Each structure stands twice: as structure tokens, then as C-alpha cells.
């Protein structure tokens, strides 16, 4: 550190010889008059020197100090000097000009100010700073900066300065682990200040959430009270190794009180007090820098890794419960899977089913309830509709695998199987149509009587027979027989038509209802009611043909009753599956029907009619 004695005549602080008899503004006017009267006022000191100083020279890790580089004798500096310090972040914060009058000679100095934020403990070396003035190069002397641990008494005054620090749960983390991070900003309690905007981390090794609203409290450090603001976020490492966190810069406005003018006023008490003295404090911008820190990020171990692990890292509790213990055959059961705890909930997927045989599983409905604003703690819920396709006596089991970063081991949790009762059995097969009985063989034809030969030469001496009545004539006889046969045939036809209509009465009504529902289908826009009505139409067509209750008909019943081809059977199965998915999946219940699905359903219903 370079220390210089104060000159007897310093324009920046007023006139020392007459400070007791004049005010600051009077000193400025007196300096101007003196410069005009001095014969050598234009012969500024030609001697140029450069120096550097640290204020203070001892600090704590993460607490910045100021570095001043001063050029005496000239203001003609080609550019801002470059300063680099190994183990610390250096930020240029501005410059200041000072004029001095010594023995009637005016000299000037230019000071460049830097903010140095140490990132490690130990003694840091400030290398010589090179300055170019009027084409010539000058160097400062090297300096030493002593950096102590956070909270350790430095022996100087860094505890009176604002500080920034970061708190991590551990010195290491795992790839994919959600890590809660707290950043703290502390400012002396007797200082008025305000923060300009929320800070942002500079890192490409983590994904992070935005900072929550800060929480403020008061702490006492080294005998001094500080207002401490805590900023919380959740960070997730995306690569392994020694990865950096930071730097992080807080831009704040601090109130700096103006110096009290204790000089005697030559005009007496007229100009004493406000507004000529004790001016209110003014806000100045300050940058508080949290130095870069490195964290050990480890890859997840492969030993003991379950096959069902999907990336859940944290400490969780898992359970699965059914919505009921007794159902009817063909009805779904809803399993509620809950995962509660803390960790990376955004990477938790649906736990797999241990034994999927005999169950038809539909898409899950997912929800998440935060336990705090960041979402690091909470409860994730999956609701799954399942239909048993085989005889089942207990609810299905699910398995949830996670990795506990505290123990460094994988955890495997299996849900408990609850008793399940299924009422009813398999639907009855449709009755087969009765086979027609073979017709009776026609009676054999009767032999025709042989004609009696009459003798050619013979005479008939018998009396002539009387003429038969008209109703005994062959024409009338056969006409009457035909009339009777026609009457019998008409009666039999009427009886047959009546019996057919009697048998087809419910089927005809079902066909009419199916046509009515198909006409109304064009007005349905939501997916679930559209598919449900289309399945109802297919059931009515099959029921009209098979004589079976329409409510008990499934896709296979429709295929058998209508004798469909393989391609047509596949379309019918698709229709029934789509209807079941829309009814049992909460995520699809209110979605609109797609035009492609509407056309496919309409084509399927055409060959069912």
C-alpha cells in the first residue's frame, strides 16, 4: 500500500490555511483568483508518477475491496489500464480527477478505481499495473491482498462493507439432481439501500429456476448488524466434473451521506443550516459480486441400479390405492399413485406395473401440488384407469425406483396389493338361428286307370243317363278346388308374414333407433360423446341381427353377429378401444373430435348398417 502525506493546499477538500474562516464555495473562488495571480500557473509539474493502493488490504473471501491506480502529473492517459488478478474478479467502476496547488504550482492527478472480489482464501498478488502516458509506459509496484475465511475477523474494516455469499446443501451433487441454492446479500443495517433488480447466475453447467421473492432478516456479524436478503432457487446439474457456479453480481443503490461543512460561515448565521449544510444523503450505485465457486458434480452409480429407474433423484415416499374394492365384470378400477417428498419432480414418470398380464391400462392423469414456491418439495399424483381382462383377486402392484443423494444408494418401493372382488362372469354367447327342417318328399303320383276298350260292333240298348248338375262338371270342380287352394295359400302367407313381423319387431325398432342416432351423430363435437354414440349404433345393429340385449354387446359380438371381414373387424375393435380410452382417461374426456377420426368412424358405421 502506498501512503502519501496530505499537501498543505488541496482543492478537493478546501483550503486548509483559511478553512476556519471561510466556507467551501469561498475556497473555490479563492483558488480561481489565485490561479490568475500566480505567474507560474501554466507551468504544471512535469514529473509523472504512478501508484496503486488497496482499500483495505485484508478482506474475507467473497467480500470485495477497492483498487486505486493513480497517475500524478498528467491526465493524458491513452486508455484505461488493464488489471488481472489470479484468484479474483476485477471490475472497473470509474475514475476521479484531483487538482492540487503547491507553492504556486498546479498539479493534477487521475485515479482509476477497480472493485476486486477474491474467490479463494490466501494471499493474492496484485501484479504491477502498466500505464501509458504521452507515449511512455509506467508501472506500479506489486501489492498483496490477504483473504481470510468468511466470518473470520480480518483486523481491518471489511465487516462494515456489503457482502454476498452462497449456501449449498453439500459440497457435491449428482447429474440430474435438483439442488436448492440460497444466495445471501448483506448490507449494514444503518445504511439506506435498495436493490435494482433480481440477480442472475452466469453458468452453462446447470438449469435453474428463477429466483423467488427475497426474504429479509437481520443478523449480527462481528459485532455489527446487517440486513440480509436471501434469494432461493433450484439448480439441476447437466454435466459431471468440477463445474462453476457464478459469478453473480448484485446491483444495488446505497445512500452515501454528504459531508457536513464545519467551516465558519463568514456571513454569520444567515447561511447556516439547511440547505447550505447537512444536505440529505444521495444514492450511489454499488456492485456486490459473488465470486465464482466450483462444485463437484458426480455421475449416478451403475451398481445396484434397478431396471425400473427413470431418473427420480431425491427422498420420496410412494403408495398406490384403489378407488374401490368391488367392481362388475368389464368395469374399470382407478388406481391413485402418489409420490411425496423432495427432489426433481419434473423428471418423475408413471411407475411401471409389475404384472401387466390380464389388465387393460389407459393413459394416466397427472397432477402436482407444490409444497413450496420452487417446487422442490411437493406431491405428484397419477390416476390410472384399468380394466381386468382376466379373473383377478387383488389390485395390481406398481414399482417406484429412485436415487437417494444423501446415502448415495438406489431405493426401490413396491405398492401393496389390496383384495379385489369382481362380480359377474362372461357374457352369454348369442343364440344360433334354428336350422330349417327338411321339407317332406312329395307323394308318389297315382296310376292312371286304363281305358276300357269298347267293342267296335256293338249296340247299346240301355236307357240314356240323366245329365249331371253343373257343380259336378269338371270345370266347376277344378275351379272350386283352385279357389279353396288360393284361400288356404293366402291364409298361410298372412300367418307367415305375421310371425316374421312378430319375430322382427324388436329388431326393426332397433334398426330405426340406430338410424336416428346416426343422423344425430353429425352434431357431436366432443370426442367422448361422439365415440360413445358411435359404439351405441354398432351395438344396436348387432342386437337387431342377433336378438341379444344391446347393452351387453362388445366388439366381438358385433363381429360375429354381422359376419364381418378381417379388415372390418379391425375397424370395429378400434372403435370400441377408442371409446373406452375416451371414457376412462381424464385427459381426453373433453377434447374435440378430430376430422380424421370422424371420417373413420363414419366409414365404419356404413358397413354396419
Confidence band for 116, pLDDT divided at 50, 70 and 90: very high
Task: Report how far residue 415's alpha carbon sits from residue 293's, in angstroms, rounded to the nearest whole number.
Answer: 42
- Give the residue-averaged pLDDT of 128-136: 87
pLDDT at 279: 47
pLDDT at residue 25 in the model: 52
For the chain, the structural domain boundaries read 1-153, 162-270+277-299, 300-423, 501-606
Does the pTM of the predicted model rise above 0.75?
A: no
Three cell numbers written together for 277? 449544510
Residue keyed to cell 449480527: 220
- What CATH number does domain 300-423 carry, 2.30.29, 1.10.3210, 3.30.70, 2.60.40? 2.60.40
| Cis peptide, bond prior to residue 56, ω within 30 of zero | yes
Residue 336 vs residues 320, 576, 590: alpha-carbon distances, Å: 6, 25, 21
Average confidence (pLDDT) over 521-550: 84
Of 64, 128, 116, 52, the closest CA to residue 89 belongs to 116
On the question of pLDDT at 333 being above 50, the answer is yes
Q: Give the residue with greater pLDDT, 46 vs 555.
A: 555
| C-alpha span between 557 and 65 (Å, rounded) | 85
- For residue 441, the model assigns a pLDDT of 63
Whole-angstrom distance, CA of residue 551 vs CA of residue 536: 8
Closest C-alpha to 396, from 350, 357, 426, 339: 357
**Which pLDDT tens digit goes with each residue over 160-196?**
678 888 888 888 999 999 999 888 888 888 888 888 7
User: What band does 220 get if pLDDT is binned at 50, 70 and 90?
Assistant: confident
Q: Which residues pair with 77 in a beta bridge?
A: 133
Strand partners of residue 338: 319, 381
Taking the C-alpha atoms of residue 263 and residue 284, their distance in angstroms, rounded to an integer, is: 26
Closest CA to 317 of 264, 371, 277: 371
Q: So what's the pLDDT on residue 334?
A: 93
Collapsing DSSP to helix, strand or coil, 389 comes out as coil
Give 477-484's long-range contacts (Cβ < 8 A, gap of 24+): none
C-alpha cell at 286: 454499488
Q: Which three cell numbers stand for residue 568?
A: 372390418
Mean pLDDT score across all residues of the chain: 77
Question: With bands split at pLDDT 50, 70 and 90, how would you rate the model's confidence at 49?
Answer: confident
- As beta bridge partners, residue 250 has 288
162-270+277-299: CATH topology is Immunoglobulin-like (2.60.40)
Residue 419 confidence class, pLDDT cut points 50, 70, 90: very high
| Cα 494 from Cα 517, distance rounded (Å) | 33
300-423 and 1-153 share a CATH fold: yes
- Across the range 571-599, mean pLDDT stands at 79
Residue 191 contacts residue 255 (beta carbons within 8 Å): yes
Contact between 284 and 326 (Cβ < 8 Å): no
What are the grid coordinates assigned to 405, written together? Answer: 443423494
Per-residue pLDDT for 473 more than 90? Answer: no
CATH match of 1-153 with 2.60.40.10: yes
Rg of the chain, C-alpha, whole Å: 51
What is the model's pLDDT at position 45?
44
How does pLDDT run across 266-277, given as a tens digit for each residue?
444 444 444 444
Q: SS3 for 36?
A: helix
Residue 21's contacts (CB-CB under 8 Å, 6 or more residues apart) are 263, 264, 266
Element (H, E) at 368: strand 365-370
User: What pLDDT digit, counting tens, does each position of 281-315 carry?
Assistant: 567 777 888 888 888 999 999 999 999 898 999 99
Specify which of 270-274, 536-540, 579-583 reaches the highest per-range mean pLDDT. Answer: 536-540
In the prediction, which pLDDT does 438 show? 58
Length of the chain in terms of residues written: 609
Across the range 390-410, mean pLDDT stands at 91
C-alpha cell at 241: 466434473
Amino acid at each position: 500500500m502506498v501512503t502519501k502525506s496530505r499537501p498543505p493546499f488541496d482543492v478537493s477538500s478546501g483550503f486548509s490555511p483559511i478553512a476556519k474562516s471561510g466556507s467551501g464555495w469561498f475556497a473555490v473562488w479563492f483558488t480561481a483568483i489565485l490561479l490568475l495571480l500566480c505567474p507560474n500557473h501554466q507551468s504544471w509539474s512535469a514529473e509523472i508518477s504512478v501508484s496503486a493502493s488497496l482499500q483495505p488490504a485484508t478482506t474475507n473471501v467473497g467480500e470485495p475491496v477497492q483498487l486505486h491506480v493513480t497517475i500524478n502529473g498528467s491526465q493524458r492517459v491513452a486508455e484505461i489500464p488493464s488489471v488481472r488478478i489470479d484468484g479474483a474478479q476485477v471490475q472497473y467502476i470509474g475514475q476521479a480527477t484531483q487538482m492540487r496547488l503547491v507553492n504556486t504550482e498546479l498539479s493534477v492527478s487521475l485515479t482509476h478505481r477497480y472493485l476486486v472480489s477474491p474467490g479463494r482464501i490466501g494471499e493474492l498478488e496484485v501484479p504491477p499495473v502498466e500505464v501509458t502516458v504521452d507515449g511512455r509506459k509506467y508501472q506500479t509496484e506489486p501489492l498483496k491482498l490477504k483473504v481470510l475465511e468468511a466470518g473470520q475477523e480480518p483486523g481491518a474494516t471489511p465487516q462494515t462493507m456489503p457482502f454476498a455469499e452462497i449456501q449449498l446443501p453439500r459440497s457435491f451433487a449428482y447429474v440430474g439432481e435438483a439442488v436448492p441454492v440460497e444466495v445471501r446479500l448483506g448490507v449494514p443495517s444503518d445504511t439506506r439501500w435498495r436493490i435494482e433488480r433480481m440477480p442472475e447466475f452466469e453458468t452453462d453447467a446447470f438449469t435453474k429456476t428463477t429466483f423467488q421473492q427475497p426474504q429479509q432478516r437481520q443478523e449480527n456479524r462481528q459485532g455489527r448488524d446487517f440486513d440480509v436478503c436471501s434469494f432461493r432457487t433450484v439448480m439441476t446439474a447437466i454435466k459431471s466434473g468440477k463445474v462453476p457456479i457464478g459469478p453473480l453480481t448484485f446491483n444495488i443503490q446505497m445512500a452515501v451521506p454528504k459531508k457536513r461543512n464545519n467551516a465558519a460561515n463568514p456571513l454569520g448565521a444567515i447561511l447556516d443550516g439547511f440547505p447550505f449544510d447537512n444536505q440529505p444523503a444521495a444514492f450511489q450505485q454499488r456492485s456486490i459480486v459473488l465470486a465464482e465457486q466450483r462444485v463437484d458434480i458426480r455421475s449416478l452409480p451403475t451398481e445396484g441400479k434397478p431396471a425400473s429407474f427413470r431418473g427420480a433423484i431425491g427422498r420420496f415416499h410412494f403408495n398406490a390405492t384403489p378407488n374401490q374394492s368391488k367392481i362388475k365384470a368389464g368395469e374399470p378400477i382407478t388406481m391413485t399413485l402418489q409420490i411425496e417428498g423432495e427432489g426433481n419432480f419434473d423428471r418423475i414418470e408413471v411407475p411401471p406395473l409389475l404384472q401387466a398380464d390380464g389388465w387393460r391400462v389407459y393413459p394416466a392423469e397427472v397432477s402436482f401440488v407444490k409444497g413450496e414456491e420452487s417446487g422442490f418439495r411437493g406431491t405428484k399424483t397419477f390416476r390410472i384407469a384399468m380394466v381386468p381382462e382376466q379373473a383377478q383377486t387383488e389390485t395390481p402392484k406398481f414399482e417406484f425406483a429412485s436415487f437417494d443423494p444423501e446415502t448415495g444408494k438406489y431405493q426401490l418401493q413396491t405398492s401393496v396389493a389390496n383384495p379385489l372382488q369382481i362380480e359377474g362372469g362372461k357374457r352369454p354367447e348369442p343364440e344360433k338361428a334354428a336350422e330349417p327342417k327338411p321339407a317332406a318328399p312329395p307323394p308318389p303320383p297315382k296310376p292312371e286307370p286304363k281305358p276300357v276298350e269298347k267293342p267296335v260292333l256293338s249296340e247299346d240298348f240301355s236307357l240314356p243317363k240323366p245329365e249331371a248338375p253343373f257343380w259336378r262338371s269338371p270345370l266347376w270342380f277344378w275351379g272350386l278346388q283352385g279357389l279353396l287352394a288360393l284361400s288356404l295359400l293366402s291364409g298361410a302367407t298372412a300367418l307367415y308374414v305375421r310371425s316374421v313381423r312378430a319375430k322382427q319387431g324388436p329388431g326393426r325398432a332397433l334398426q330405426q333407433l340406430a338410424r336416428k342416432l346416426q343422423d344425430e351423430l353429425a352434431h357431436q363435437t366432443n370426442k367422448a360423446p361422439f365415440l360413445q354414440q358411435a359404439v351405441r349404433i354398432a351395438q344396436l345393429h348387432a342386437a337387431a341381427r342377433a336378438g341379444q340385449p344391446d347393452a351387453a354387446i362388445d366388439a366381438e359380438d358385433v363381429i360375429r353377429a354381422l359376419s364381418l371381414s378381417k379388415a372390418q373387424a379391425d375397424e370395429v375393435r378400434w372403435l370400441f378401444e377408442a371409446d373406452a380410452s375416451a371414457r376412462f382417461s381424464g385427459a381426453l374426456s373433453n377434447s374435440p373430435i378430430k376430422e380424421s377420426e370422424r371420417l373413420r368412424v363414419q366409414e365404419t358405421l356404413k358397413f354396419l348398417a
